[in-house]
Amino acid sequence: MKTQDTFAAVRAHADLYRCLPVVCFQNGVSNEEWLTDQGFCAYGAMVRIGAFVDRPGVVCHTAGRLALLGRWPGGVDPLCRAVVDDLARGGLDAAVETDIRAVKWGKLVINLVNAYLALADLSVQDSLHDPDVRSFMADVEQEAADVTEAAGITVSIDGETGLRGRIARLRRPAARVLRTGGAWSGVSYASTWQDLKAGRPTVEVDHFNGRIVELGEQHGIATPLNRVLRERCTDAAARGLGPGTETEASIRAAAAG
């Protein structure tokens, strides 16, 4: 279940969930925000785990075991610690997080590149090592830095608050920027790429790039790259197009138009 699936699922069983804590492992921050607005007791979880569905009923783990969990929008309580203990017993590198909102905003920023990787048919390894991809990522994340700072939103990635240092390192091709919480096994693809490859009609980018676009509109800041990534990726999913319909040049040209 991805973010776009949460709302209908909760509405269908609202009476059951109303008296229960709801822990959101999905990417983005829309789940927790919506649940809180609806009066639910929401907890956020940020995971750095790579996987893919090999066939029905078989999920292959490719990278990472990190899971951070906290009350939404911040703090920890006994439930957080109990869930973390259960996750750790299951083999994850789990820990409580006092500022889960900042950490999940950080993961949202990392996920901004997912639409591009899907549209351009690129792997996660390309995003880690290819200097052209990293430069494009830096420009996309620069828009995120501008709007989150204007909105007063704290963003934390790997213990570092703010995006300026990360963006500067992305522009240095030899630098190691991203930690994955574990060794990668072979070539891995972001879940948005997997969605397009599988022909799924919806993707999560409204809750990643779309949030940056919305913040830009609220604060009068242009976000052309995120706007085009959102539009092109949602269109590709709706039309059943697979990965590889766009290039960096085509996206930059559309953003400049």
Residues whose CB falls within 8 Å of the CB of residue 98, separated by 6 or more in sequence, listed in order: 70, 74, 75, 76
* pTM exceeds 0.85 for this model: yes
Question: How many CA atoms does the CB half-sphere of 65 hold within 13 Å?
Answer: 11
CATH label, 3-256, candidates 3.40.1170.60, 1.20.1240.10, 1.10.1040.10, 1.10.3720.10: 1.10.1040.10
- DSSP character at residue 202: -
pLDDT band of 126, cuts 50, 70, 90: confident
With 0-12 / 13-18 / 19 or more C-beta atoms within 10 angstroms meaning exposed / middle / buried, residue 241 is: middle
Q: Map 171-195 to HEC letters.
A: CCCCCCCCCCCCCCCCCCCCHHHHH
Q: Which pLDDT tens digit goes with each residue over 16-41?
A: 888 899 999 999 999 999 999 999 99
Between CA 87 and CA 238 the distance in angstroms is 35
Please state the domain extents for the chain: 3-256
Q: Which pLDDT tens digit goes with each residue over 219-230?
A: 999 999 999 999
